[in-house]
Amino acid sequence: MVTVTRFAPSPTGVLHIGNVRAALQNCLLARRDGGKFLLRIDDTDAERSREEYVEAIRADLAWLGLHPDGEERQSARSDLYEAQFQRLAAAGRVYRCYESAQELDLKRKVLLGRGLPPIYDRAGLALSETDHAARAAAGERPHWRFALDHDEPIGWHDAIRGDQRFDPRQISDPVIRRADGSWLYMLPSVIDDIAMGITQVLRGEDHVSNTATQLQMFTALGAAPPAFAHAALLVGVEGKLSKRLGSLGMAELREQGIEPEALVALLARLGTSDPIDPALDAEALAASFDLTHFGRAPARFDEAELKRINAAVLHRLPYARVAGQLPQGMGEAAWQAIRPNLTTLAEAGEWWQVITGPIAAPEVDDECRSFLDAAAQVVAGLDWGEGVWPALTSALKEQTGRGGKALFLPLRQALTGHDHGPDMATLLPLIGREAALARLSGSH
């Protein structure tokens, strides 16, 4: 059987870290097995769904290198939902209810006050056709619930959480259709999973109770359910899901200079027993993806760790990957020289300025000025090339007797305007003889 997974966001906002993690996990699982990764846009909520969010979802997935093998829109599948709904109605598996949100809330409070679980009392099932006719005549429109089979035990082996068991009598019959005829999440998702041939549903542990209910929907529709796995949710370093983490989007991460490879490297392994390795590409991450390596403990997302991984990823990126984002005129040699010192790609422009000038060198005393003048004289007589820095420092050490920091720091400061930075052996040849002479003489 070909593995088919899906990512099913609602276009009511932009993707945040938790959404992206789910998308990545489903993509890696499909790629590992040579299967298909599908995108399903859950846009049944017409009032809140926005087309600009659909476009943003596609753009964020593309930025991350997650390319779906197909896409479906729930808003285009209403005929399919209606047909399957009628099947359930004919089989007596859906029923009409009329309670308002306030009435349902009161019922829950009464049950909780008695120390009982707040489960819907199935009052709608007791209504006769005469009752329904009377309510219709009064202008009331029903919402619809799926009738759980209380005699059918609910259980499955979760690929992450292990064996799961639910008593259907302890679960409220879920509302599947609003009074205005629009659909809620539960039933259309099952219908789509059947129609799209989904074989594996991998989602957050907040959906565990949904799975218990949806398993009976698969059975009622005469379909074998997919396999299920529920990953622990992300939390921040403080041990809970902060408001910031819950809303952290891809645009903000891009603004911070986070590379997609860094985010993928972190999220692919977060919550597993596998080490986070910035050197692994998407193919290697997919090959090593294993649901049995996921733990039950919350997965901690640390922005500081992401930034460290981002730096490590940058230090490995080839010139071809970044060429279009570098300052004009910056070639591969310059990229290789400055790459080890970057934490974000935006910093490349700062180091390119160091190479091309002008720079702001520090003021120097008479002793240092004498040393730099001597350095300029040495530079003027050197053959310019890759070995110019060691040739310069060796000649100056022999001529002045300086060594260590006293030798290297004044040269770096005069040539770059910084106390630290890329290896001068790679930087100095890029600066060039004329610029180096000008900087050492103080006329830069």
Residues 6+ apart with CB under 8 A from 301: 17, 234, 235, 236, 237, 245, 266, 270
Predicted local distance difference test score (pLDDT) of residue 237? 78
Token pair belonging to 48: 């809140």
Tell me the percentage of the chain whose pLDDT exceeds 90: 91
Q: What is the pLDDT of residue 248?
A: 84
Q: Does residue 372 lie within any of the structural domains?
A: yes
What is the Cα–Cα distance from 243 to 259, expressed in whole angstroms?
A: 23
pLDDT digits (tens, 9 = 90+) for 314-355: 999 999 999 999 999 999 999 999 999 999 999 999 999 999
Could you tell me if residue 189 is inside a domain? no
Q: Which helix (H) or strand (E) holds 241?
A: none
Residues 255 and 292 in one domain: yes
pLDDT tier at 361 (50, 70, 90 boundaries)?
A: confident
Distances (CA, A) of 286 to 6, 146, 302, 310, 405: 16, 38, 23, 20, 47
Whether 286 and 338 map to the same domain: the answer is no
pLDDT above 70: percentage of residues in the chain: 98
Query: Model's pTM, two decimal places?
Result: 0.89
The answer to whether residue 2 sits within a structural domain is yes
Is pLDDT above 90 for 140? yes
The enclosing domain of 417 has a CATH number of 1.10.10.350
Which of 443, 254, 249, 270 shows the shortest CA–CA distance to 358? Answer: 443
Please give the pLDDT value at position 443: 64
Does residue 429 form part of some domain? yes
Domain assignment of residue 391, yes or no: yes
Which tokens in the block code for residue 251? 């645009």
Please tell me whether residues 35 and 48 are part of one structural domain: yes
Boundary residue ending a domain (291, 316, 341): 316
Supply the DSSP symbol for 437. Answer: H
In a domain, 226, yes or no: no
| Arithmetic mean of pLDDT, 139-156 | 97
Same domain, 346 and 410: no
Q: Are 61 and 90 found together in one domain? A: no
Cα 39 from chain centre: 15
Same domain, 348 and 376: no
Indicate the SS3 state at residue 16.
strand
Domain ranges, residue 7: 1-72+232-316
pLDDT band (50, 70, 90) for residue 46? confident
| Tally of structural domains, the chain | 4
pLDDT of 175? 98
CATH of the domain at 159: 3.90.800.10
Determine the pLDDT at residue 316.
95
Same domain, 245 and 165: no
Strands 299-300 and 234-235: parallel
Q: What size, in residues, is the chain?
A: 444
CA angle 123, 124, 127 (to 5 degrees): 100
* DSSP type of residue 4: E
Amino acid (1-letter code) at residue 394: S
Same domain, 331 and 295: no
Does any domain span residue 184? no
pLDDT, tens only, 210-234: 999 999 999 999 999 999 999 999 9
232-280 pLDDT per residue, tens:
999 887 766 666 666 789 999 999 999 999 999 999 999 999 999 999 9
Residue 133: both structure tokens together? 């006719």
Kindly report the CATH number assigned to the domain that includes residue 66: 3.40.50.620
Query: What is the DSSP code string of 160-224?
Result: TTEEEEE-GGGSPPPEEE-TTS-B-SHHHHHHHHHHTT--EEEEEGGGHHHHHHHHHHHHHTT-P
How distant, in Å, are the alpha carbons of 4, 40, 112 from that of 84? 22, 19, 35
Claim to verify: residue 275 and residue 327 sit in the same structural domain? no
The verdict on 11 and 68 lying in the same domain is yes
The pLDDT value given to residue 398: 92
Please tell me the predicted confidence (pLDDT) of residue 240: 63
Judged by DSSP in three states, 297 sits in: coil
pLDDT averaged over the chain? 94
Judge whether 18 lies within some domain: yes
| Separation between Cα atoms, residue 128 and residue 205, nearest integer Å | 39
| Chosen domain end from 260, 285, 316 | 316
Is the pLDDT confidence value at 71 over 60?
A: yes
Sign of CA dihedral 243, 247, 252, 258: positive
Residues 380, 423, single domain; the answer is yes
The predicted pLDDT at position 189 comes to: 98
Cα atoms in the 13 Å half-sphere on the side-chain side of 113: 6
Cα separation, 430 vs 403, whole angstroms:
24
Is 150's pLDDT higher than 70?
Answer: yes
Residue 72 φ/ψ, nearest 5 degrees: -125, 150
| DSSP SS3 for 138 | coil
What CA–CA distance (Å, rounded) separates 323 from 422?
Answer: 19
Distance CA 410, CA 372 (A): 8
Mean pLDDT of 37-58: 95
Task: Identify whether residues 363 and 432 lie together within a single domain.
Answer: yes
Instruction: Inform me whether the pLDDT recorded for 1 exceeds 90.
Output: no
Mean pLDDT across the stretch 106-124? 95
* Range of lowest pLDDT (6-20, 151-165, 361-375): 361-375
List of E strands, 63-123: 70-73, 94-97
Task: Please answer whether residues 295 and 35 qualify as being in contact, where contact means their C-beta atoms are separated by less than 8 angstroms.
Answer: no
The whole-angstrom separation of Cα 66 and Cα 68 is: 6
